[in-house]
Chains A and B, each alone.
Chain A
């Protein structure tokens, strides 16, 4: 029996109000309205083309809604950028530079001086800051982890992760899930777009189901009533 919860409870930190995002004549988001609470782990699920990535990019401030508003901590996504950590499907890293060199550069964009925070972020994802080879020579799993390290570098309150487990072996994926669970337990709000919902069963607090550019259901487990 699928369990469907009326979510959220408490005060929302993210409010999405009737957001429409059009690319030419194609509407990727069709009037998405939702509120998300702090300190919860939200898994965004749906078929290809359902609008998951577009919603995540809109939350990150990378896709400007054609209509509607997004508020994060009462601010626009652009204004709240210091509170947001974004990890995309591509690595968002320079292949020719080592992980540490990459993070050092991105730390500079957030006004973080010194190597300490970069080393902490790299160690937090289970990698070695001393690795000197370019990120392009990392395995896919290592690249994903380094990409996560970049996203958490500035210690954001909200993490927006697009398919962090794709092309990663099951063992590494489970390790990443454990890492994200720890971050959620530490109070961070996490959004994960994924096709591997079962990995998050029992870990995510909420599964947000998208279909044809709309949120069609929000459940506490991966089990869900069929939506016509």
Chain B
């Protein structure tokens, strides 16, 4: 019973549960769709303007939508107190954390894959910089959101108003990552600046926070 075998068993279970309920994906999709439509009708931006604002818009939409998935992740474990069954087992605590983070990463990535074409169409986007750089920015940025989000969602599990508590904890600590994602995306879209700095920034952020979350998760899991 290794860390990875439990991680993948838990991940498989979470994907199966999400596939059956579609709680997180449906909510995220509707939320992101609303953001796209509302902003298009509010601003009706030109292509040139779009390149400057879409970076921020996309990531703020994904950040808010991700909070929905993050809350769902742990809500499942609270129903019938299933989390206690994990806590009394010899399974490594970090396997649960990694599975939840990977699951959220997959769900948010699916959302991004579905929503990105809509952003491109609605905002009439043409990338002027090296488009391939959007891939590492998206992957590293998404991981930055979900790794902290998964951790803070677990932390706020036992608080009374956890739906409110999660954004209050998550958003301030995500500011460096969000700045990196937004500036990196804008740099690629406009082609004005190289995005390497932001990719390295996101990578560093991910390494630091993944390590910190893994080091602290056992304490959070067994907290009463």
Contacts and interface: CB of A to CB of B under 8 A. Distances in A.
Interface string A67-100: 0000000000000011010101011111111000
A58 to B, nearest CB: 11
B13 A94 contact: yes
Band of interface residues on A: 20 to 34
A171 to B, nearest CB: 24
Given A105-B9, A109-B90, A93 B80 contact: yes
A81 B17 contact: no
B44 interface: no
Contact of B1 (A84, A111, A150): A111
Nearest to B77: A94
A64 B6 CA distance: 25
Contacts of A96: 17, 20-21
A60 B88 contact: yes
Task: State the majority secondary structure of interface residues on A.
Answer: loop
Contacts of B80: 90-95
Interface in A93-119: 93-97, 101, 105-106, 108-111
B1 A64 contact: no
Contacts of A150: 85
Contacts of A97: 13, 16-17
A111 B21 CA distance: 28
Interface residues of B, number: 25
Given A61-B88, A81-B90, A90 B81 contact: yes
A92 B89 CA distance: 12
B124 interface: no
B94 to A, nearest CB: 13
Nearest to B96: A109
Interface in A37-69: 60-64
A62 B1 contact: no
6 contacts: A64-B222, A90-B81, A96-B17, A105-B10, A109-B91, A111-B1
